[in-house]
């Protein structure tokens, strides 16, 4: 049975100090190897893991590779032979195709492979007046942080790649980035900025991920614009309906690396913005992993009259909480869920109509209007995934895999050379280069955040029943696809 008193014994965070605590919490939770914002979202169902082996064998010919295996974490998927200089451009990537992070690695690799297919359909990357095809060399790190850096070293020192495409979750990406930097090899990654930069600064690594709470700095074309931090978009969405609520907020998070860091930022931030979060100074709602009975939390929120729910917890935990909330007769007007509402497999498992109207922030959607390679669009990339997989698009294919490869190919073309230093200089000089997630211009911290939007889960007539659609955006070129669902209807 969950005990409230276990939560109230924890020391709270003062309003004045919440940003400082937030940064330290992120660093502590993420860099220690928890994976922070990715923790708990990455487990792939068994069916997905099985699909990895079949898919890698099918698609690698399009990326000029030879398949060996995709089931042993330290065995390379490709065994390259050294070609004459200039006949191919070797790009390396170490992704998690098996293990707890396979859900992300599988989508990322698929997106990278499609970018390679698209550029090779044009004859390859234009270098010095001629086109050279790309050869993608891929390894599976098995979601093991202790192995991933060694495989990056393998790519660079044995396979002789000219550049790397990183693995985004910080627990895996940070060791990769440090290794690539040490070996002076350019790498493009799409990681949450704050935990990624905690392992920096970097010379050869460049990030096109999302910012949690750090706004774009002066000099950045995105400076002063909303929609480039998670805090921005969550508050923008919630503020839209605040006056139609009593501003009383239930805050819930799993007491793991991700949830603890999130609670340290978002709980006190609500109070800073004039909301009334319930007992956040006591860390009420920060529950131990493995909790199965949320009734004491729900009863307290119901008695408090909370009309808004903010949370960061695994999808399976939220499903348990949400079912119990229905049984106990508590239905807030607005529900935002980080982490647990990102992926279809998590959401559909809640059962019945429970997903309806639950909101989450996302970093890419098929509606993003920015161009890919050779006429590719986000929409066509998603359509190809659906045709091939018969499932909703894995958002990593367009957020991470494709745009990282697209940017790297652009830098090689601008460098006019396969020299690593020249490629790295070209990355540093990137100025409003458009990739599938939008324009890229790096700050002095080697960061260029992607635009973020809020989506809600709605019913669809497609085979997968539920899909999430954009309902809030601060970006004129990414309009909302429908009006938000507010208040949440009875179910």
Boundaries of every domain in the chain = 4-39+227-365+453-473, 46-222+370-441
Arithmetic mean of pLDDT over the chain: 85
pLDDT of 77 strictly over 50: no
For the record, the structure tokens of 185 come out as 């090899």
Phi, psi of 156 (to 5 degrees): -80, -45
With 0-12 / 13-18 / 19 or more C-beta atoms within 10 angstroms meaning exposed / middle / buried, residue 422 is middle
> What's residue 31's pLDDT?
41
Host H or E run for residue 28: helix 18-29
Cβ partners under 8 Å of residue 397, min gap 6:
107, 108, 110, 111, 114, 381, 382, 385
- What's residue 181's pLDDT? 98
| Rounded-to-integer distance, Cα 324 and Cα 263, Å | 22
Terminal C-alpha separation, the chain: 26
* More reliable by pLDDT, 245 or 260: 245
- The pLDDT of residue 414 is 98
Does the structure show a pLDDT above 60 at 248? yes
Helix (H) or strand (E) holding 251: strand 248-254
In the CATH hierarchy, which fold is given to the domain comprising 4-39+227-365+453-473? Rossmann fold (3.40.50)
Q: What mean pLDDT is predicted for residues 181-193? A: 97
Q: Output 323 or 82, whichever has higher pLDDT.
A: 323
Cα–Cα distance, 333 to 11 (Å, whole number):
30
Q: What's the pLDDT score for residue 55?
A: 29
Q: Global pTM?
A: 0.82
Q: What would the mean pLDDT of 199-215 be, rounded to a whole number?
A: 95
- DSSP symbol at 200: -
Cα–Cα distance for residue pair 121/63, rounded to 1 Å: 11
Of 222, 280, 204, the closest CA to residue 15 belongs to: 280
CB contact at 8 A, 176 and 164: yes
pLDDT of residue 390: 87
| Residue 67 banded pLDDT, cuts 50, 70, 90 | very low
| Mode of pairing for the β-strands spanning 248-254 and 308-313 | parallel
List Cα–Cα distances, 50 to 40, 79, 94, 400, in angstroms: 20, 22, 19, 22
What Rg, from alpha-carbon coordinates, does the chain have?
22
Q: Is the pLDDT of residue 1 over 70?
A: no
CA distances for 89 relative to 164, 205, 328, 408, 418, angstroms: 11, 19, 60, 11, 8
214 vs 48, more confident: 214
For residue 107, pLDDT over 60 is answered with yes
CA gap 60, 460 in Å, rounded: 33
Report cis status (omega within 30 of 0) of the bond before 201: yes
Buried/exposed code over 105-136 (b: 16+ C-beta within 10 A; e: otherwise):
bbbbbbbbbbbbbbbbeeebbbbeeeebbbbb
CA distance 322 to 337: 11
Alpha carbon distance 108, 234 (integer Å): 25
Say yes or no to pLDDT of 44 above 50. Answer: no
Kindly state which CATH superfamily the domain 46-222+370-441 is placed in.
Response regulator (3.40.50.2300)
pLDDT digits (tens, 9 = 90+) for 270-291: 999 999 999 999 999 999 999 9
- For 429-468, how does the pLDDT look when each residue is reduced to its tens digit (9 = 90+)? 999 999 999 999 999 999 999 999 999 999 998 888 999 9
- Dist. CA 382–CA 111, nearest whole Å: 10
Alpha-carbon distances of 300 from 297, 303, 348, 470, rounded to whole Å: 5, 5, 27, 32
């Amino acid at each position: 049975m969950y005990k409230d008193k276990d939560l109230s014994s924890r020391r709270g965070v003062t309003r004045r100090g919440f940003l400082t605590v937030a940064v330290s919490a992120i660093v502590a939770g993420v860099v220690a190897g928890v994976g922070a914002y990715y923790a708990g979202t990455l487990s792939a169902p068994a069916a997905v893991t099985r699909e990895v082996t079949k898919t890698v064998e099918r698609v690698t010919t399009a990326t000029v590779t030879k398949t060996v295996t995709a089931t042993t974490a330290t065995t390379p998927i490709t065994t390259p032979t050294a070609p004459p200089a200039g006949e191919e451009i070797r790009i390396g990537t170490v992704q998690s195709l098996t293990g707890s992070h396979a859900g992300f690695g599988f989508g990322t690799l698929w997106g990278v492979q499609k970018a390679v297919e698209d550029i090779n359909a044009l004859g390859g990357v234009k270098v010095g007046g001629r086109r050279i095809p790309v050869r993608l060399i891929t390894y599976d790190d098995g979601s093991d942080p202790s192995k991933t850096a060694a495989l990056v070293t393998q790519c660079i020192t044995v396979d002789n790649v000219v550049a790397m495409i990183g693995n985004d979750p910080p627990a895996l990406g940070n060791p990769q980035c440090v290794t690539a930097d040490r070996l002076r090899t350019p790498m493009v990654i799409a990681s949450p900025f704050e935990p990624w930069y905690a392992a920096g600064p970097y010379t050869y690594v460049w990030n096109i991920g999302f910012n949690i709470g750090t706004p774009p700095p002066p000099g950045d074309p995105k400076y002063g614009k909303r929609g480039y931090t998670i805090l921005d978009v969550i508050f923008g969405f919630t503020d839209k309906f605040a006056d139609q609520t009593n501003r009383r907020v239930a805050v819930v998070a799993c007491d793991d690396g991700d949830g603890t860091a999130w609670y340290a930022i978002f709980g006190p931030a609500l109070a800073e913005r004039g909301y009334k979060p319930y007992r956040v100074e006591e860390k009420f709602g920060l529950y131990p992993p493995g909790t199965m009975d949320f009734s004491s939390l729900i009863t307290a929120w119901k008695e408090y009259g909370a009309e808004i729910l903010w949370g960061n917890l695994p999808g399976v935990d939220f499903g348990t909480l949400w079912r119990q909330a229905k049984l106990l007769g508590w239905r807030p007007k607005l529900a935002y869920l980080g982490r647990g509402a990102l992926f279809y497999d998590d959401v559909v498992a809640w059962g019945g109509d429970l997903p309806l109207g639950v909101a989450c922030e996302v970093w890419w959607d098929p509606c993003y209007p920015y161009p890919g390679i050779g006429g590719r669009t986000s929409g066509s990339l998603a359509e190809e995934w659906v045709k091939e997989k018969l499932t909703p698009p894995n958002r990593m294919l367009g957020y991470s895999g494709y745009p990282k490869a697209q940017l790297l190919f652009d830098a090689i073309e601008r460098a006019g050379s396969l020299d690593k230093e020249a490629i790295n200089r070209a990355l540093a000089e990137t100025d409003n280069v458009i990739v599938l997630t939008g324009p890229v211009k790096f700050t002095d911290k080697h960061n260029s955040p992607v635009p973020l939007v809020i989506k809600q889960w709605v019913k669809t007539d497609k085979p997968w029943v539920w899909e999430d659609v954009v309902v809030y955006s601060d970006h004129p070129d990414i309009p909302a696809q429908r009006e938000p669902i507010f208040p949440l209807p009875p179910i």
